[in-house]
A and B are shown apart, each in its own frame.
Chain A
């Protein structure tokens, strides 16, 4: 590992690697990775055909399925590959940030009531379902094609929510025919549900503004109440990934792609298998956007009921919605020429800079909002995309804190403790379906999110705009 700048470490190109690896980290985060297999995964990804510039990892890197979590890899559309392992099981797991017209004083003493109501109204936990009536096959196909717009058409949100969602809340090319019966079965009753594990719904307060100009553009102000939703495509997405891992294992053999790890199974982007995966993945991504749009609607209803205020006073407004697990066809400048790339972000966030047409009008001058959740006891961050991200990381940055402790270690650490009461004494009201999830997700099980975000800020990829402190959390 060679340190090439304060924030960047390079894995030299050796053996079958087609490009070097690059990891964004400070010394302490890098030390924490020693002996971790995730660096070998960065090197493995560099073996895949058509990879451009570097196999990259963000400072929240940890071991993943084939590709590391926190990994960014772009492949030439003409010569490169697409891999379900580079996206992950929870396709378009992502984050939505909602601003309100409320100030911290407006919710003083009311946070428990708010959180209880959200816990009650937004289905969460293992296999959660039933936020809306079971969808017919035809209706579900509409969800897969239209994404967030499907929810808006049904009265669950406003049209301008779509502009403030990555890709307008729907990836093009979604083909319902690329979806298995099993995925349809798993998807019919989970729109509007949070799920479990690291997914959450959080009531927050803007407690620090780093970049007043960008914060103003995003409509964020110190003391303001925000709500963050973190979830994905639920069982539907898991099934799509499962289905296509099998397809890709066969495809990799057929196209004679030499894989250092079977789990990097992939197919050329332009092959029938590659195209079909992208069509199915788009369906799952759109499912996730519909899901978060629906949860935002349920959140609005829950807040109105709990606070007994008018929609005008609540003044709920979507700041932005980003995908953390996705592969997308994007155009990037590589060594002075424009290249069509298939960019895999697995536990990474798009961070497009000012002026890019993909960034909505209202934010185009300052760059795309980047949403980075931390653990439930610390803070989450709003950052912004930059030109530097466009030239260095295919417009990508980190996605969160990243785990440092296994779930079983966390459970051991939590023995004899009441994590909910510990958080409560820190001023954070938590409701969870299970004590086990709460213990597994304890703040100390995660890397220091300040350090992770600090690296990408220091490297000039995604400077900090604002910090959000949790007041109340619903955990699945």
Chain B
């Protein structure tokens, strides 16, 4: 984990997440060695569907803070906040630094420090209008191998 935060590169896509088959929407499976990596990779997956990430630099910072009763709820809120920032400001992150706090009762808090750029339609390529981050088949689980796996469905 020492090399984080790193810039998201298309080359690292296959280690971060996969698109599962779904007839109409984007169904994501996301992996990570710990919760913070899962959250980071989930943000990567979201932005990777919105835009051609290779064209995005850094310099514009945003911070998202979310809390919730469990990791799945927090994952959804985090992505929904990122989508809101994109929808209203055109902000696309090129990297993220994630801080996860797990409370004794199981609640989870996440602070995501995002570094990216505001979309410039002359330079950047946009792909898909993500309408929402849904609650459908929303999971965050520990795997048998000791890592983490999450699934989330984007309505597009």
| Number of chain A residues close to chain B: CB under 8 A | 39
Measured between C-beta atoms, what is the minimum distance from A474 to chain B in Å?
15
Task: Point out the residue from A185, A263, A403 that lies within 8 Å of B24, measured CB to CB.
Answer: A403
Pairwise interchain contact A90-B131, C-beta atoms closer than 8 A? yes
* A249 (CB) vs chain B CBs: closest residue: B135
Q: How long is the Cα–Cα vector from A405 to B19 in the complex, in angstroms? A: 13
6 intermolecular pairs with C-beta atoms under 8 Å apart: A66-B136, A127-B90, A239-B84, A434-B125, A437-B127, A437-B128
Contact of A197 among B22, B23, B136, B156 (CB under 8 A): B156
> Considering the chains assembled together, what is the distance between the CA atoms of A90 and B24 in angstroms?
14
| CB-based contact A245/B135 at 8 Å | yes
Asked whether, in the complex, the Cβ of A407 is within 8 Å of the Cβ of B26, the reply is: yes
CB distance from B83 to the nearest CB of A (A): 9
- Asked if residues B86 and A65 are in contact (CB atoms below 8 Å), the reply is no
Q: Is the CB of A126 within 8 A of B132?
A: no
- Which B residues touch A405, using CB under 8 A? 23
Among residues 50 to 74 in chain A, which have CB atoms less than 8 Å away from a CB atom of chain B? 62-66, 69
* Closest chain B residue to A262, Cβ basis: B135
Q: B136–A406 contact, CB under 8 A? A: no
Q: Which of B92-135 contact A (CB under 8 A)?
A: 119, 125-129, 131-132, 134-135
Q: 9 new A-B pairs (CB below 8 Å) besides A126-B129, A182-B84?
A: A62-B23, A66-B136, A89-B132, A126-B51, A195-B129, A197-B129, A239-B84, A241-B132, A403-B24
Instruction: Kindly state the separation between the CA atoms of A79 and B116 in the bound complex, as whole angstroms.
Output: 50
The total of chain B residues at the interface (CB under 8 A) is 29
B133 CB, min distance to chain A CBs, angstroms: 9
Q: Measured between C-beta atoms, what is the minimum distance from A466 to chain B in Å? A: 28
- Does the CB pair A263–B136 fall under 8 Å? yes
Q: Is the CB of B155 within 8 A of A89?
A: yes
Smallest distance from the beta carbon of A95 to chain B beta carbons, Å? 18
**Contact with A69, one of B22, B24, B50, B51 (Cβ below 8 angstroms):** B24
A242 interface hit (Cβ, 8 Å) = yes
A404 within 8 A of B: yes
Q: Which residues of B contact A64 (CB under 8 A)?
A: 24
Distance in angstroms from B117 CB to nearest chain A CB is 14
Tell me the nearest residue of chain B to A93, going by C-beta. B131
Q: Is B87 an interface residue, CB under 8 A from the partner?
A: yes
- Shortest distance between the CB of A186 and any CB in chain B (Å): 6
**Which A residue's beta carbon lies closest to that of B22?**
A406
User: Using Cβ atoms and an 8 Å threshold, which residues of chain A touch B125?
Assistant: 434
Q: How many angstroms from the CA of A437 to the CA of B127 in the assembled complex?
A: 7
Interface residue? B21 (CB, 8 A): yes
Which A residues are closer than 8 A to B by beta carbons?
36, 62-66, 69, 89-90, 125-127, 182, 185-186, 195-197, 235, 238-239, 241-242, 245, 262-263, 403-409, 433-434, 436-437, 440, 476
Set of chain A residues within 8 Å of B23, measured between Cβ atoms: 36, 62-63, 403-406
CB–CB A235/B128 < 8 A: no
- Contact mask B16-44 → A, CB, 8 Å, 1/0? 00010111111100000000000000000
> Which of B24, B50, B80, B87 has the largest count of A CB atoms less than 10 A from its CB?
B24
Contact call B129/A185, Cβ cutoff below 8 A:
no
- Given known A-B contacts A125-B126, A238-B131, A245-B135, A186 and B155 have beta carbons under 8 A apart: no
- B88 contacts partner chain A, Cβ-Cβ < 8 Å: yes
Known A-B contacts A126-B50, A263-B136, A407-B26; A65 and B129 likewise in contact (beta carbons under 8 Å)? no
A406:B21 contact, CB within 8 angstroms: yes
Chain A residues in 8 Å Cβ range of B25: 407
Whether B86 contacts A127 by the Cβ 8 Å rule is: yes
B127: which A residues are within 8 A, CB to CB? 126, 434, 436-437
6 smallest CB-CB distances across A and B, nearest first, come from A126-B126, A196-B129, A408-B19, A89-B131, A126-B129, A238-B131
Measured CB to CB, the closest approach of chain A to B87, in angstroms, equals: 5
A127 to B7, CA, bound (A): 24
Instruction: Tell me the complex Cα distance, A196–B51, Å.
Output: 13
Q: A126 contacts which chain B residues (CB < 8 A)? A: 50-51, 126-129
Cα distance A37–B152 when bound, in Å? Answer: 17
Is the pair B26, A434 in contact by a Cβ cutoff of 8 Å?
no
Q: Closest CB-CB distance, A468 to chain B, in whole Å?
A: 24
Q: Which residues does chain A contribute within 8 Å of B19, judged by CB atoms? A: 406-408
Q: How far is the CA of A322 from the CA of B90 in the complex (A)?
A: 31
What is the CA–CA distance of A367 and B88 in the complex, to the nearest angstrom? 42
Q: Which residues of B contact A262 (CB under 8 A)?
A: 135
Distance in Å from the Cβ of A405 to the closest Cβ of chain B?
A: 7
Q: Which residues of A contact B87 (CB under 8 A)?
A: 127, 186, 235
Q: In the bound complex, how far is the Cα of B80 from the Cα of A410, in angstroms?
A: 26
A476 CA to B27 CA, complexed, in Å:
21
Nearest B-chain residue to A237, judged by Cβ: B131
- A62-B24, A65-B136, A238-B132 known; A433+B126 contact, CB < 8 A: yes
- A242 and B129 in contact (CB under 8 A), knowing A65-B134, A127-B86, A197-B156? no
Q: Please report the C-alpha to C-alpha distance between residue A262 and residue B72 in the assembled complex, in whole angstroms.
A: 14
Q: Chain B contacts of A407 at CB under 8 A?
A: 19, 22, 24-26, 128, 156
